[in-house]
Structure 1
Amino acid sequence: MTKEEFKNLEVGKTFTLGFRKFIVIESGIDCSECCFDKLEDCPCSSMRINNFIPECSGRIRKDAKDVIFVEVVK
């Protein structure tokens, strides 16, 4: 997968960060349900810039969809 493909990971696709798996889900502009928004001091901006997580803003994504990330629990 290229860097560009990862930044624009499709809705319904999953990715791994460390030992955890996350799924991309379409949402409104609200980040409150995103698992990364729940972290103290919300590090998601630096995580996106450093390519640890895909882009979430519809203003930047090629599909123009706002998305959130939810952990896949087995």
Structure 2
Amino acid sequence: MGGVSIWHWIVVGVIVMLLFGRGKVSELMGDVAKGIKSFKKGMAEDETPPPAAQQPADPKVIDGAAQTAQPQPAKAETKA
């Protein structure tokens, strides 16, 4: 009582095969395998180091057109 023997697993397997059929069980196992592969691939992608950060853009370049810095004329101060 309380112990699970091989005969219990065989009975459960036979019941599952009768309920779902052989095609459904193999299809389900294929889907599980695809999910595991997809999960492993996602985990491998997370472990790769992120690409190097790009240099900050030149503040003088806006929308691909370079702006030239023109010196401002000096204001003449008058004494009153």
Verify same fold: TM over 0.5: no
TM-score by length of 1: 0.22
Greater helix proportion: 2
TM-score by length of 2: 0.21
